[in-house]
Amino acid sequence: MEIHEIPRDYRGESRILYIFSMKALMYTGIGAFIGGIFYLIFNALGMQMIGIGIVVFFGVIGFCIGTFKIPDTKKFKFTQQTGGEAIDDIIKRWIKFKRQKNKIYVYLKGETKDEQ
């Protein structure tokens, strides 16, 4: 009996250091960079350990944004609408919404002004 490999689509699944995907590594780096700015400020004030803690904190926040998804539960209205979507996609969509000055265009089929 022979073993045959079933082809899979591996795009976006490359892992670095087992837990980091490319996207998670990028967001972790961005978070650590932002934390590094605070590290420089706290290091100048003589509070180096607090600065290191802030770098780690921002790095973990970046990792969570790049890795996790919103849970799909029916308990909250927010999770009903965004359940199963990646956190970074939701943040990108929110930024795009704010850039458009909070405009939402809704197209209704079959409804006219007289029916309202």
Q: Does the pLDDT of residue 108 top 60, yes or no?
A: yes
- Here the contacts of 32-40 (C-beta below 8 Å, separation 24 or greater) are 32/58, 32/59, 32/62, 34/58, 34/62, 35/59
Give SS3 for 23.
Answer: helix
* 61-73 residue pLDDT tens: 999 888 888 777 7
Residue 48 has pLDDT above 70, yes or no: yes
pTM of the model: 0.64
The DSSP call for residue 20 is E
